[in-house]
Amino acid sequence: MTTLMTRQLFDAQTWSLLAFGKRSRTEHGFGWLDDVGSIAAERGVQLWITGRMTHCFALGHLMGDPDCTVLSAHGVACLLDGPLRDDDTAAWLCTVNLDGTPQPGPLRAYDHSFVILAAASARMAEVPRAQELLDAALLAFDRLWWDEAAGMVVDSRNRETLAVDDYRGANANMHTVEALLAAYSATHDPLHLRRAARITGRIAHEVVTHAFRLPEHFDDSWNAVLDYNRDRPTDAVRPYGSKVGHWLEWARLMVQVRVACTAVGIGYDPLLDSLPTGMYRKALQEGWGADGEQGFVYTVDFDGYPVVRERMSWVLCEGISAAETLRQITGDNSYEHDIDTYAAWAREHLIEDPGQWRGELDSQDRPISAAWSGKPDIYHALQAMLIGRLPITPSLAEGLLRTGASPA
């Protein structure tokens, strides 16, 4: 078992993260929180944050927090009736200002995935109108994002013409897998699980083809573009190289897909049986302390050398989530040592106050705001704190429903 200190930290942080996140409520959804927990007005109301926070508050509702009951219902209502929902495209805008006026920009599959996740978690928490939101989100997904021929999602569309951008990305597909698993939990429709398995299988082959270093960027024929943004390695959305945190995140999702498919007799790529442990070990080998300092570097090149050495809190959180999942599926207790190591590092460097996780550190573990500023949401950290208490299920909401395993 991981140490009692680690489990006590995770349990306490679960409630503290929810308490901190409650500050994010705005009229039209949930806002980006700055370093001190105030809403960053200049960031407006962003779809991915509103979706993530609605999901988090649905989990809090399942754990018995009455404030989260109200906040999850607020999120669902805003996603259905608020200005983020665009009547012209029957989809969702990525950002509106705090007053609800739209900001320019394309429609993005990445952001849309969190509408599905929010709706599915809220549906399992029996939040009013969550089924209505889930139906609308899945309808838009079929119409705008799913590419049946490729078995993947396209990345973005022009808001006026709905023309599809030539870029394809692993990141949007990764969060789509998470969303489809949650939709499967909420509906038991095997279509969602089959699609999640198709995406995951294709990504698994890309990982193996590129020596366990996941390509992030592709052209419209799904050919990897390894030098994408080589001249902009610190791009906040599409950095050059491969994100170590995504190796960890994919490792966890591959296990979830495999377990869910096995339970109902749906086929999946055999690579999912062995690849997650390999991806995790590769992340430790080339990501943790790769520059001589503890912590995961952000990106590496395709020879395995660090490119962006900053430490992102979400990467550490995905390390916890992956280790917790692999500990369960393999029975290998060595993962418990890793979890304790990550918890100690988070306590020392990331957790500024209860529930307040610094978003980014430099290579010397000093707080910075290069790629990200403030503490925009609690999604990665909350999931990392909860996942070790739950069985391996398609979604955390299903895990909570099955076990009622809420921190004391």
Q: Which residues are catalytic?
A: 246, 380
Alpha carbons 248 and 374: distance in angstroms, whole number: 23
For 341, residues 6+ apart whose C-beta sits below 8 A from its C-beta are none
* Separation CA 89–CA 112 (nearest Å): 13
Instruction: Tell me how crowded residue 188 is: count the other CB atoms within 10 A of its CB.
Output: 11
Measured between alpha carbons, how far is residue 387 from residues 134, 256, 305, 339, 383 in Å? 24, 12, 30, 12, 6
Q: How far is Cα 76 from Cα 198, in angstroms, rounded to an integer?
A: 29
Distance CA 64, CA 159 (A): 39
358 and 148 in contact (C-beta within 8 Å)? no
How many CA within 13 A on the CB side of residue 253? 27
Q: Is 87 helix (H, G, I), strand (E, B) or coil?
A: coil
Task: Tell me how far apart the alpha carbons of residues 36 and 241 are, in angstroms, rounded to a whole number.
Answer: 32
- Sign for the CA dihedral angle at 306, 308, 310, 313 comes to negative
Q: Crossing angle for the helix pair 271-287 and 244-264, nearest 10 degrees?
A: 160
Length of the chain: 408
Question: Are 324 and 388 a contacting pair, CB within 8 Å?
Answer: yes
DSSP string, 144-181: IIEETTTTEE--EE-TTT-PBPS-EEHHHHHHHHHHHH
Let me know: does 136 contact 198? Beta carbons within 8 Å.
Answer: no
Q: Token digits for 138?
A: 């899945």
Q: How far is CA 382 from CA 59, 113, 204, 288, 377, in A?
A: 9, 18, 27, 22, 10
